[in-house]
Chains A and B, each alone.
Chain A
């Protein structure tokens, strides 16, 4: 069965620190990859997506992610986090051209001011 693993359930950083959140998936074929963010009390919003082309994709609010096919990974990065980045981050995979998207368990990020 397809699955998505997010390695860190909780991350605590100070402002200006660099961020990298890991995401690995288990599917050997074509994938479409997403990162969503859920700010406290709000619904999920799209941060960035990868469908094809340049494996380094840039999203909103300074976030970027790199698709490494050989490692089945799609890690999320930000060079310098802000207090307002405190949220839960979800990696999601749409595999094999199907209609279902599988979500990871999420990573809660807390940024200390």
Chain B
């Protein structure tokens, strides 16, 4: 069972470079999310999507962009990398809810550890 797959697992970027973090899920989930995890800060939502072609900003979207052309894929793009974007990035997906909740529990990928130097 693949679940949520993130690539790459580690990456070092120079300031000003750009890159795309890949995320794919094989559970046919409509909802997908990107979080960043910083020590002592928990998870902060960057962007989320409720279905193909529909994305919206989370708590900390500045410096990032997303697209959702298919149900399976939800890439996160950093256009001009800055040291403040050094973090661990997690992608997650969830199914539709069961009536009392609009969304089910989230399934997380293994994360991408990104350093900006």
Residues on A facing B (Cβ under 8 Å): 4, 6, 9, 32, 34, 36, 42-46, 49, 51-52, 90, 94, 97-106
Contacts and interface: CB of A to CB of B under 8 A. Distances in A.
Given A43-B111, A101-B106, A94 B42 contact: no
Contact of B103 (A45, A46, A101, A105): A101
Contacts of A6: 42
Contacts of B33: 101
B44 to A, nearest CB: 8
A4 B45 CA distance: 14
Given A90-B42, A104-B42, A105-B42, A97 B102 contact: yes
The main secondary structure of chain B at its interface with chain A is strand
Given A103-B42, A105-B40, A105-B42, A43 B100 contact: no
A44 B40 contact: no
- In the complex, the 10 A-B pairs of residues with the closest C-beta atoms, listed nearest first: A105-B42, A103-B43, A43-B108, A44-B108, A32-B101, A103-B42, A46-B105, A52-B100, A51-B100, A51-B101
Nearest to A31: B101
A57 to B, nearest CB: 12
A100 B48 contact: yes
B66 interface: no
A99 B45 CA distance: 11
B73 interface: no
B90 interface: yes
B103 A90 contact: no
A9 B39 CA distance: 11
Nearest to B40: A105
A43 B109 contact: yes
A44 B110 contact: no
Most chain-B Cβ atoms within 10 A of its Cβ — which of A42, A49, A102?
A: A102
26 contacts: A6-B42, A32-B100, A34-B105, A34-B106, A36-B106, A42-B110, A43-B109, A44-B90, A44-B92, A44-B108, A46-B105, A46-B106, A51-B100, A51-B101, A90-B42, A94-B101, A99-B50, A99-B103, A100-B45, A100-B58, A101-B103, A101-B106, A103-B43, A103-B44, A104-B42, A105-B42
